[in-house]
Amino acid sequence: MASKPTAVLLLPRTLDGFIQYDQAQDLLRSKSIVAIEPARVPYGVFGRLSLGLAERLARTQAARLKLPGSPRVVMMFHPFQYPLARALVDRNQGSELWYMLWDHYEHAYDATPKLATRLRLWHDAALRDSALNFAVTNTLVEIEAARGHAVALTPSAADSFPKPEPADSVVAVALGNIGWRYDWELLLAIASEMPELIVLMIGTVAEKQLTGDLAFAACRKLPNIVWLGRRPDEEAARLMLCADVGILPFKVDPFNDAGIPNRILKAARLGRRTITPMLEGVLTYSPAVIRVDGVTQWVEALRAQRATRVAGDPALREWALQQSAESIDAVLWRRLRELGVEVPPTAATGADWAVSDLGERRP
């Protein structure tokens, strides 16, 4: 029985740290595609060895790798991977070498003249031997086209990066020391009720004051509460300009009731009101405060302040969301299908990726 056709991704670093993580994850949806993370000997070592020694080391590593099925594709992402990629292709007759360009490698800041020479040597060898070359920018495509190499355009995707809805988001800023005075159960309830809320916490956290506070610990884990630490006033003022409103989620008790936090006036100087609980002292700055009682009123007040800051560009957002790893990988999925490698039914295999004007894709 013939072995199942497979494809191998030679990752230049661990998957989690790979700059093309999203495209790799898209390809790994196929059970016939496997990712090989770097061995104990980093790829950079190949660039510092003599050519003969680098080749022998690569062949030794290739012999030790137990690849599943019948490899039809060995995909490399950096010139220093060429010796191992070449050795794997030679070891698995009928397989193809694929090469992805995501930098002008020999011009890297840490490339000494000697390393740059080696990078150019293996870069050119990979382009020569590869059955499919693809690059992340038009510039790289054009550079190689001028040198007589056909290179497909497959830009970088960002599928795994979170995409909260900009039009719905409310950004609040809490300025000042962070500790006893906060009603952490209240803040936890508000932030949990409003996934569209972003709270910028600017100030020193008094960790010792909050030891054992379960609500505080839960707030620490919420993605929509961002802990920025203490910032100089010049920075804090500019961070406030990124927000719609200030918040003062303090406990209602005699100590807080008599006080007048100066942070209310600071926010007002930047055109931002501050939402507070039903405290009396804050009425000293009555034009600048919005007093509310309970989670429901907090949520209503926060949403009422939405878009005090400048809104984003909806058309640009829509364009960016169309640049998915699957659409970018279409040229790879198409060739994998031609080689008999298992491809998910939903994998895009249409026109190669290209872009003209904002929001317009063309073959």
Q: What is the pLDDT of residues 153-190, one digit of tens each?
A: 999 999 999 988 888 899 999 999 999 999 999 999 99
Q: Is 103 exposed, middle or buried (0-12, 13-18, 19+ CB in 10 A)?
A: middle
Asked if the structure places residue 205 within a domain, the reply is yes
Residues 16 and 156 in one domain: yes
Residue 311: predicted pLDDT: 59
**Residue 255 CA to its chain's centroid (Å):** 43
Report yes or no on 354 lying in a domain.
Answer: no
Q: How is 160-185 classified by DSSP, letter by letter?
A: TS----TTT-EEEEEES-BSTTB-HH
88 and 153 within one domain: yes
Amino acid, res. 64: R
Q: How many CB atoms lie within 10 A of CB 218?
A: 16
Are 287 and 174 in a shared domain? yes
CA dihedral sign of residues 206, 305, 279, 295: negative
**Predicted local confidence at residue 71, as pLDDT:** 94
Instruction: Give yes or no: residues 134 and 216 share one domain.
Output: no
In terms of domains, do 17 and 156 share one? yes
Q: Same domain, yes or no, for 150 and 201?
A: no
pLDDT > 90? residue 107: no
CATH number of the domain that residue 182 is part of: 3.40.50.2000
d(Cα 76, Cα 99) in Å, to the nearest integer?
A: 5
- List the alpha helices (DSSP H) in 168-285: 184-193, 214-221, 233-240, 254-258, 263-269
User: What percentage of residues in the chain have a pLDDT greater than 90?
Assistant: 74
Better-scored residue on pLDDT, 165 or 119 = 119
| CA separation for the pair 54, 132 (Å, rounded) | 24
Domain that holds residue 46: 5-160+321-338
Same domain, 283 and 151: no
Task: Please report whether residue 349 resides in a domain.
Answer: no
Please tell me the pTM assigned to this model. Answer: 0.81
Decide which of 312 and 144 is more confident: 144
Q: Which stretch of 59-73, 291-305, 312-326 has the lowest confidence by average pLDDT?
A: 312-326
Q: Are residues 136 and 180 in the same domain?
A: no
Token couple for 296: 């429901």
User: 152 and 26 in one domain?
Assistant: yes
Look at residue 309 and tell me if it is in a domain.
no
| Domain identity same for 141 and 269 | no
252 Cβ partners below 8 Å, 6+ apart?
Answer: 183, 277, 278, 279
pLDDT mean over 301-319: 80
Do residue 284 and residue 186 come from a single domain? yes
Please count the structural domains in the chain: 2
In the sheet where 225-229 sits, what is the strand order?
A: 225-229, 197-202, 170-175, 245-247, 274-276, 289-291
- At 106, list the tokens: 């020999």
Domain-located, residue 200: yes
Establish if 357 belongs to a structural domain.
Answer: no
Q: 320: part of which helix (H) or strand (E)? A: helix 314-322
Is residue 30 domain-shared with residue 155, that is, in the same domain? yes
**Arithmetic mean of pLDDT over the chain:** 91
3-state secondary structure of 290: strand
- 350 part of a folded domain: no
Q: How far apart (Å, rounded) are the C-alpha atoms in residues 272 and 231?
A: 19
